[in-house]
Amino acid sequence: MPKILSVALLIILLLIIPAPAPASAAPRCFPEVAPAISSCIDGGIRSFWEAQGGLPVFGYPLGPSSQGPVVSQLFERARLELHPENAPPYDVLLGRLGADALAARGEPPAAAEQPEDGCRFFDQTKLNVCGAFLAAYGRYGINLGQPGVSPAESLALFGLPLTAPRQERSSDGGSYTVQWFERARFEDHGNQGVLFGLLGAESGVGGQESGVGGQPTAPAGPALQPGGFIKAEGGQLTRLGQPVTIKGVNYYPQGRPWEEMWRSWDAPQMARELRLGRDQLGLNAVRVLLPYGLSLNAAGDGVASGAAIGKLRELAQIAGDLDMRLVVSLFDFYENFPAPGTSAERANIAYINTLLGNFVGDDRIMAWDIHNEPDHYKLWATEGKRDQVLTWLGRMADAIHAAAPSHLVTVGMGQYDNLWVAGPDGRRPVDYSDVVSVHIYNAADAARQLDELRAHTDKPILLGEFGWPTGPACAVRAYSEQEQEAMYQTTLAAAQGRVAGVIAWALRDFDAGPTMRWETREEHYGLFRADDSLKPAARWLRDYAAPPLPSQLKTDLPLSGGRRGPPGGDDAPLRIAESGHYVKNEFRLLWDAINGRYNMGLPISEAFVRADDRRVVQYFEAALVEFHPEARKAPGFAELSPDEKLRQLVRFVNIGSVYTAGRSFPEQQGVDHDRGYFFPETGYTVDPLFRRYYDVLGGRWRLGAAISGKVDEQINGVTMPVQYFQNGRLERSPVTQSIEVGRLGSWAWDIQCTYVR
């Protein structure tokens, strides 16, 4: 057989899709949307549907599988065909619904285009895919075993572009910019993002009655009955008397975690990001944590401010418009847990009554979470006052039940076995919770913990937090996308049949780079990366089946806030284009003060919190720097000049000493002890060749003491004179004759990434 395949044959091979599960998979039906969807999926079609995209990509089945020469089944957005004559895993193919629809119209081939910058050009059809359509094209793909979502995997799912973008009227009556592909039609719905057209529903076959021009006269999608509060009945959660499964995420907007979400409110950003979660992961719930502090109640007196209520109304509207339900944690970052009868407790109850009083009849609210992980606060964890926390939780649960009787009450406990610890009144958190929320980050032990919890309660259990960080890079070996995916797979397998729902931590990476925050593992728990692409773990949550949860209440509030510009000032984050990393805060001041590009080289990491000692560090090509905020507490610090303060706050690490450990250098001859360049602790002096640059670069603060004399060494295959210092190396290039700083920071970063725990 020839080694070079034709383009046509290559495309055919890419259309052939692996079906990883056995063809004997049991039927899967969709009772949560019956009678709108009465057909089931099974066998190889079910296996393929679940493995390669599920509901967001293919939609619901529109009829049973056909039993003709080729077994096929039509879905809202695709047609799947069984080809048993092909050896597994090549026995399931996607129909070319887009090409078929255009052919039925008699459309000629689109006019050829020239390649455009920032677009993907398809030579086979001479068409570009650009902008939002290109981003959507790259988010999904058939799993061909390649890292991430490769171009070949996207091609296998959607096929080649067949038209340029153009205006068309869709089957929902709206006019959109669309672009056609062999097996899909992309529609730009503005604020809703790019959606996939309902080509299967529009084909007029597969069990739906057709009207003029093949357009269905029945609704294309399942019409779920809206409304109904989420209730706890036995061990299940229900809506309108039917069991429901919760599939949600804990949520902060990108760049605005913790209180920043509420201080720098941007509801349009939240609407966009949560829509991505709904469309690409099939989410039906979202949990948010509302701080109880000066930022949100008037003068700290416990009375919920109008601003806080307004923001929560907007968030409920966003969730409701996406057929999601909202879980609100009420007392985030609050550690007082006041005693009964105190003024602080009265303020707590006033806060509950004011806030919840505005949402009593709002079916978009699923549950009020009394407190996020109260057992991790010092009163319980370190001060031995567990009973004070437990009795406060019970009283707040009573107040919430009284204020919002239609909503569920829960408490997100950090340690599973604290859920059945009794307080002074004899009640346990499982007793005053309507749905029992547990947070589990130990995937290997998740099944055992859930089984033990089940032995203490017959109420519905909600896995309210679980997840795993994928960074910072090289901080901890286990912080990786591979570990995150394995953790999701294990945890969700443990959840099946044991819980009424799951709420992952978290929707997206927080993206510390362009903000004033240092990077920690908390920035990296997301299922979406900062560029809106999905991590591998996302497919396990995507495939966790759960129905939409449409609500009855609808509002039309304007979404307030808006994206602010980047932080300003001399210490604002500065992105270094050559490496893509930021310098910020005190490291930015250092960069500007000492000509960082020459003195330290490019940043090769973000500034992150080191795991073993919680010290903020950042790696540069020629340096490793640490932040020492404790210097501000030293006597006399306030009287220092700005330069002197910076030298106390930012310190260079002795990578030169580490690099040369175990080496011996010859003694220097004719050492001059009177010039200020001699270091008695090492016995070396700064060589005259390097003295001027030693001073210019920052002297002892920057480079430390000399630990060698001038020696000739091969650097990257070139022999040159060098001298080692505690914090680095100086070298003279034989090509330019200039003095340069050796790239020992890059060496240190390689060591960090190789030997990190």
User: What tens digit of pLDDT does each residue of 472-529 get?
Assistant: 999 998 999 999 999 999 999 999 999 999 999 999 999 999 999 999 999 999 999 9
Exposure pattern of 678-705 as b/e (b: 16+ CB <10 Å)? bbeebebbbbeebbebbeebbebbbbbb
List the domain boundaries for the chain. Answer: 7-209, 241-542, 574-641, 658-755
And the tokens for 227?
């409304």
Q: Which of the four pLDDT bands, split at 50, 70 and 90, describes residue 301?
A: low
Residue 331 is inside which H or E element, if any? Answer: strand 325-332
pLDDT tens digits for range 574-622: 999 999 999 999 999 999 999 999 999 999 999 999 988 999 999 999 9
Alpha-carbon distance 468 to 439, whole Å?
12
Specify burial of residue 209 (Cβ count, 10 A radius: 0-12, 13-18, 19+). Answer: exposed
Residue 642, class by beta-carbon neighbours within 10 Å (0-12 exposed, 13-18 middle, 19+ buried)?
exposed
- Which of the residue ranges 190-204, 271-285, 486-500, 562-576 would you say has the lowest mean pLDDT? 190-204
Cα separation, 424 vs 387, in Å, equals: 6
Highest average pLDDT, of 1-10, 75-84, 451-460, comes from 451-460
**AA identity, residue 510:** F
- Closest by alpha carbon to 166, among 192, 186, 190? 186
Going by pLDDT thresholds of 50, 70 and 90, the confidence category of residue 38 is confident
d(CA 165, CA 77) in angstroms, rounded, equals: 19
Q: Residue 639: which H helix or E strand, with range?
A: none
Lowest mean pLDDT among 63-77, 89-103, 296-310, 359-373: 296-310
The first and second tokens of residue 754, run together, are 């190789």
Rounded to 5 degrees, what are φ and ψ at 190?
65, -120
Residues in contact with 441: Cβ distance below 8 Å, sequence separation at least 6, in sequence order: 465, 466, 467, 468
Query: Distance between alpha carbon 437 and the CA centroid of its chain, in Å?
Result: 22
Measured on CA atoms in the order 658, 663, 664, 668, is the torsion positive or negative?
negative
3 state DSSP class of 581: strand
- Mean per-residue pLDDT for 714-723? 93
625: Cα within 13 Å, side-chain hemisphere: 34
Judge whether residue 206 has pLDDT over 50: no
Average confidence (pLDDT) over 192-204: 78
Cα distance between residue 123 and residue 36, in whole Å: 42
Under 8 Å between Cβ of 412 and 464? yes
Q: Rounded to an integer, what distance in angstroms lies between the CA atom of residue 539 and that of residue 543?
A: 6
The Cα–Cα gap between 290 and 313 comes to 13
Asked if residue 246 lies in contact with residue 285, where contact means CB atoms within 8 angstroms, the answer is: yes
Which CATH number does the domain 241-542 belong to among 3.20.20.80, 3.90.1150.10, 3.40.50.1220, 3.10.20.30?
A: 3.20.20.80
74: left (phi over 0), alpha (psi -120 to 50) or beta: beta
Task: Indicate the Cα dihedral angle 537, 541, 543, 547, nearest 10°.
Answer: -160
Alpha helices in 600-698 (DSSP H): 642-649, 655-659, 691-697
Instruction: Give dist(CA 604, CA 582) in Å, integer.
Output: 9
Average pLDDT score over the chain = 87
Torsion over CA: 159, 160, 166, 168 (sign)? negative
Please state, in angstroms and rounded to a whole number, the distance separating the CA atoms of residues 511 and 494. 30
Of 134-148, 439-453, 654-668, the one with minimum mean pLDDT is 134-148
Q: Report CA torsion sign: 79, 82, 86, 87.
A: positive
**Which pLDDT belongs to residue 198?**
83
Q: What is the pLDDT of residue 71?
A: 84
Which pLDDT tens digit goes with each residue over 276-291?
A: 999 999 999 999 999 9
Q: pLDDT of 656-673, one tens digit each?
A: 999 999 999 988 876 666
Q: What is the largest CA-CA distance in the chain?
A: 100
Residue 25 has pLDDT above 80, yes or no: no
